[in-house]
Structure 1
Amino acid sequence: MMKPKRTDSVGFAQVLRSEWTTFCQARGSLIAMVVAALVTVLLGLAATGLMHCEGPNGSACPPVPIGPGGEAVRDKFYFVHQPLAGDGSMTVRVTSLSGLITYPPPNHDQIVPGVVPWAKAGIMIKENMKQGSAYAAMMITGSHGTRMQYNFTQDTAGSPGGVSAQSPRWLRLTRSGDILTGYESTDGTRWTQIGTAHLVGLPATVQIGLFVTSPGDVTVQEHASRLTQATATFDHVSLHGNRWTGTSVGSLQDKSAPSVGNLINGVPALSIGSFNRSGDTFTVTGSGDVAPGTEEGWTTERFLIGTVFGLIVVIIVAVFFSTSGRLPGRIYASEQANPKPGRVLVAKAIVISLVTFTIQLVAAAITVQLGKHIMLSNGKTVQPVAPLIELRVVVGTAALVGVVAVFALALGALFQRRVVAVIVGFILAVLSFILANLAPLAVSQWLLRLTPAAGFAIQQSIPEYPQVIGLYTPPAGYYPLAPWAGFSVLCGYTALALGLAVFQLHRRGT
């Protein structure tokens, strides 16, 4: 007698409920998922002890300035200013921009002439003298030509080239209500508009004047930033009078008189800042930066450092779940009513992703909020980020772990050997990320582009700004792909692995 042919009479909802029951009744799997979450929490909180910061005279860490958009900023420069009541304008001519840089290691005590690419000199209108307050500036830079920048993150390029006595640069900044407009000229007669800034809520009286700043000279190979300063010469200043005040914004002391400093090898040492006026000519020296903050304090994703180790547990659980059998007789009415193997695998993927995402979401939220509370209570610095960015990091981390769980599940179905699937999943998702943080920059960049470890980009909380030279490396929390682009690479690997696994199961007929 011929054996009846098996039919796929089981609905997907029944299959999903069956796999949910299977997972929930596997107490070992549930315990392992909780352990993975605890690893995320405990290692993240333990990492807060690695943050060391001490202010002057042993005081607590100085607070990170916060810009108008709620982001961390750098707001340190020398400002020669006076009040501006209502609308107005300022025009200057810049005839020189020079600088000093600390000598490369190991001779840190030596100073050599040089201007870093993002040294800035020009005109600024600033809401007040508080760090992080709104501003707009028209400037000439060390190597990036003229720019109009405002509120730290906004940057508009003007014409390229430098400045010298033979090729001076004319700059103009005007205010009309909340609208500030920047212009440049090569002769003081023909003007080109560079950009505009709408600073909502700008008070009636603001500060206007000349500013100079010079950020650190960053060398990625040495993972170091050398101190620098810049000096600019201005003349043809359209604002007159003796109300000029020199202020070193962001420094512990202000100076309104020239400061030459000590001589090192016959070169003036770096100073906080100064200005000297001779008739219509101003010589201003400054150091620091007016830009987005990229390295100030402990970033949000660093609280989630335990995620990568919790992934190891998740990969093991997912692989074992992929090869677990159905509970006989629990949902299906007969041996002839068996679901297609592809349906079973997809149902397993939904179950493992939902369980993992939910547990890790709770773990990530607890870790970030509790970690911030601990660090701030101990006087340590936490990098402020906008609420939506913090939400993306927390939810994205949970999604990252959930997708890796599905990836490991698909590998288990593909290889049908648990040990092989666990090893492959570990190498591609975990080891690649670890190596990217240890390997040379060129190698790590490719690892984080071409492997599933690219998904960790979803945790990046501070963007890479073109107008800020920094240590944009994986250990510092920066990735070669944008957050969602990197996450898409991981999703692509997962979709491919799951599709191949379903295809292979159909071919096997199991």
Structure 2
Amino acid sequence: MTATRTATVRAGFLATLHAEWTKFRTVRGWVLAMAGALLATIVVGLLGTAAPAPAGRGSDSASYPRGPGGEAVNDSFSFVHRTLTGDGSLTVELRSLTGLADTGTGKTARGAQPWAKAGIIVKESLAQGSPYAALMATGGHGLRMQYDYTHDTAGPRVRQGWLRLVRSGDVLTGYASADGSRWTRVGRAKLPGLARTVRAGLFTTSPQAKQDTGAGAGFSPAVATGTFGPPVLTGGWSPSPWRGTQVGGDAGTSGSYTDTLKGGFTPGDGGGFAVTGAGDIAPVVGGPAMGAGFAVENLLVGTFAGLIVVIAVGTVFITGEYRSGLLRTTMTATPVRGRVLGAKALVAAGVAGAVGLVAAAVAVPVGERGARGRGFLVLPVTSATEARVIAGTGLLCAAAAVLALGVGALLRRSGTAVALVVASLVLPFLLATSGVLPPGLSEWLLRVTPAAGFAVQQTLPRYAQVLSVYEPSTGYHPLAPWAGLTVLCGYAALALGLAAVRLRGRDV
């Protein structure tokens, strides 16, 4: 008996779903509007990134260096090095770490930046993005051992002392000492497949100086200088003299040189060195640190235009029947009112989701090729991240359509419902990311409003060891991608649930 009733209910719902789908596809205006949403998402997205090519850069240079994990990296520093073949160690006294920063007023400020770095490094080659392990002092975060750009281990909070890096096969171990006799292990790095012959030596680098102004955070050129004692070597070191190189050829996207702030190295007394550099050895993040480039979500800026159409159609899908009186006929044919609302929600979500999915699947690869062809950098992401962004855009549009349907069923007025959904979904996002609001308020809007759903499109990485402006105005959402989408889906479910309650309790 129960199985028969379940089959009857299922058959009834499928019939209602088919009826609602037929109703949707036979209204030419709705179909054309959804086609317009698809085109708007693609075209606006492509136009939004169709800026002129950056000066001095062509399409052949439009790529970031990539680390061993495929991530975009900054890999720019002053390097005093020799060749090490096989196992060996490098021990040196770091006597001081100092820095200079351009204040923008024609004067320089003294002091190393918090993530300025000076220390010793073993690097597979001079090519940017090659594997490495380094032991370093920083301007404000103590001693660190870092390797392959994304890995960071904290050591004692000191800014000078003795450093030692020991290579054994593809394993490098870092040690620190205050007096050169008692050593403490700081960290250990395993670099699979590390070449037998590598470059190793002393390095210094410094990201730009963060300047907080009344108009918001900005960045200005900065350099750091590490003063080292004579290096002590064991193992298979080449007999050639120490050589100075600016890895990357310049300071990269996280640093800069000026006429007064220059890099290089000078021999010191007794075989030591003073090494001055700018840049960073770290992953590329968003905001000012990304330089002249695009993130994947920038290619989907047209989602706003498409969503407004999706919201309008989702609303009219229910309010139009109220206005014409057709809903009475529908409810007479299907007395179970919640079934009708559920079928409408599935149709609206399915169509809107397909529009968002196809639009993103076209806009992302086409936008990437176009941006790189014009000489722009596009921050690379993994295939899984790109798939999440494309699928997430479809889910974002689907949830927005359901939210619009629910609000439309509650208010029964098209204009009011559309305005309310746009004001709760699109407007908070635009305000939060435009920079017109304080960062705290912007983050609050992207946590508690339906606009949190846009988090599913974000791809910019965040690393504690990279100084940047991690705010909504630079592309950083306070919620993780799926958590943000869950907030939007919660609003959509709430609106649909309240609409179902009202639909059962009031005459249509």
Per the normalisation by structure 2, the TM-score is 0.88
Aligned to 2:273: 282
Give the number of the structure whose residues are more often helix, by fraction.
2
Q: Which runs of structure 1 show a deviation greater than 4 angstroms over 4 or more consecutive aligned residues?
A: 7-10, 58-62, 333-337
Aligned to 2:77: 77
Q: Specify the code of the residue in structure 2 equivalent to 1:178.
A: D
Contact 1:51 1:380 in 2 (8 A): no
* Mapping 1:296-315, distance limit 5 Å: 296=291, 297-315=293-311
1:213-272, Cα deviation, whole Å (9 max, x unpaired): 00011236544211000011122522286521111001259xxxxxx996xxxxxx2003
1:348-376, Cα deviation, whole Å (9 max, x unpaired): 11111111111221111111111122222
Q: Specify the code of the residue in structure 1 equivalent to 2:369.
A: H
**2:200 aligned with 1:204:** no
Using a 3 Å threshold, how does the CA distance of structure 1 residues 409 and 219 change in structure 2: closer, same or farther? Answer: farther
Q: Specify the code of the residue in structure 2 equivalent to 1:204.
A: R
* Mapping 1:69-218, distance limit 5 Å: 69-104=69-104, 107=105, 109-160=106-157, 162-163=158-159, 168-218=160-210
Using a 3 Å threshold, how does the CA distance of structure 1 residues 425 and 88 change in structure 2: closer, same or farther? Answer: same
Contact 2:453 2:486 in 1 (8 A): yes
Q: 1:237 aligns with which of 224, 231, 235?
A: 231
Contact 1:80 1:275 in 2 (8 A): no
Aligned to 1:11: 12
Gaps of 5+ in 2: 1-7, 252-256
Aligned to 2:371: 375
1:15-65, Cα deviation, whole Å (9 max, x unpaired): 211211111112211111110111111111112222541237x89755321
2:233 partner SS: coil
Contact 2:59 2:374 in 1 (8 A): no
Q: Specify the code of the residue in structure 1 equivalent to 2:99.
A: G
Distance (Å, rounded) in 2 between the aligned partners of 1:416 and 1:180: 68
User: Offset of 1:377 from its aligned partner?
Assistant: 2.2
Using a 3 Å threshold, how does the CA distance of structure 1 residues 128 and 503 change in structure 2: closer, same or farther? Answer: same
Q: Specify the code of the residue in structure 1 equivalent to 2:440.
A: A
Contact 1:53 1:60 in 2 (8 A): no
Contact 1:19 1:347 in 2 (8 A): yes
Using a 3 Å threshold, how does the CA distance of structure 1 residues 208 and 450 change in structure 2: closer, same or farther? Answer: same
Using a 3 Å threshold, how does the CA distance of structure 1 residues 137 and 339 change in structure 2: closer, same or farther? Answer: farther
1:406 partner SS: helix
Aligned to 1:352: 348
User: Offset of 1:418 from its aligned partner?
Assistant: 1.6
Contact 2:424 2:450 in 1 (8 A): yes
User: Offset of 1:387 from its aligned partner?
Assistant: 1.7
Distance (Å, rounded) in 1 between the aligned partners of 2:331 and 2:479: 49
Aligned to 1:3: none
1:252-299, Cα deviation, whole Å (9 max, x unpaired): 59xxxxxx996xxxxxx2003323233232211111111111214211
Aligned to 1:475: 473
Distance (Å, rounded) in 1 between the aligned partners of 2:474 and 2:400: 23
2:137 partner SS: strand
Distance (Å, rounded) in 2 between the aligned partners of 1:27 and 1:220: 54
User: Offset of 1:435 from its aligned partner?
Assistant: 1.2
Contact 2:334 2:340 in 1 (8 A): no
Aligned to 2:319: 323
Aligned to 2:457: 459
Aligned to 2:42: 41
Using a 3 Å threshold, how does the CA distance of structure 1 residues 335 and 116 change in structure 2: closer, same or farther? Answer: closer
Using a 3 Å threshold, how does the CA distance of structure 1 residues 19 and 507 change in structure 2: closer, same or farther? Answer: same
1:343 partner SS: helix
Distance (Å, rounded) in 2 between the aligned partners of 1:261 and 1:71: 28
1:407-452, Cα deviation, whole Å (9 max, x unpaired): 1111111212222211110100011111112322232121111111
Distance (Å, rounded) in 2 between the aligned partners of 1:502 and 1:220: 51
Distance (Å, rounded) in 2 between the aligned partners of 1:89 and 1:409: 67
Q: Which moved more, 1:494-503 or 1:133-142?
A: 494-503
User: Offset of 1:406 from its aligned partner?
Assistant: 0.9
User: Offset of 1:509 from its aligned partner?
Assistant: 6.4
C-alpha RMSD of matched pairs (Å): 2.7
Gaps of 5+ in 1: 1-6, 254-259, 263-268
1:284 partner SS: strand
Identity of aligned residues (%): 47
Distance (Å, rounded) in 2 between the aligned partners of 1:456 and 1:495: 17
Using a 3 Å threshold, how does the CA distance of structure 1 residues 336 and 90 change in structure 2: closer, same or farther? Answer: same
1:363 partner SS: helix
